Amino acid sequence: MICWSSWCPSVQELTVSVQWLRHYCSIVLKSWPWTRPAIKSIRRTSPNMVLQNDIDLLNPPAELEKKKHKLKRLVQSPNSFFMDVKCQGCFNITTVFSHSQTVVVCGNCQTVLCQPTGGRARLTEGCSFRRKGD
């Protein structure tokens, strides 16, 4: 003889299941009329519409490329560069790395040209610089 209680759920389990099903169905039925207009509006959009995230992946704008991480750009390029810094006192030109981790001083008058920070070096006020080309 087959024992029905071994595989059949108990009355309490069935009651909980029915209550859960009623609750779930009421949520779905309540939300359905509100989602229907949204679905219709999505269908009505024209296929020629350009979304905000649509960009040319082969020729991205320069400002978007500059914001990306140096390894995630289309062509990897560093954020650092060398620059010529002109001393405000003696007008001597010194070559400085943009992310220098040491204090750079002028060779003639020993004034501080830049201070290291966590990333880029901070130039002293009054010092002018120009980015070195390749």
Nearest partner of 95 among 125, 121, 109, 104, judged by Cα: 104
Domain spans, the chain: 81-131
pLDDT at 76: 94
pLDDT in tens, 120-130: 999 999 899 99
User: What residues pair up with 83 in beta bridges, in sequence order?
Assistant: 96, 131
- Give pLDDT tens digits for 48-58: 666 667 788 88
CATH number of 81-131: 2.20.25.100
What's the chain's length in residues? 134
The answer to whether the predicted template modeling score (pTM) of the entire model surpasses 0.85 is no
DSSP-assigned letter for residue 50: P
**What 8-state DSSP symbol labels residue 91?**
-
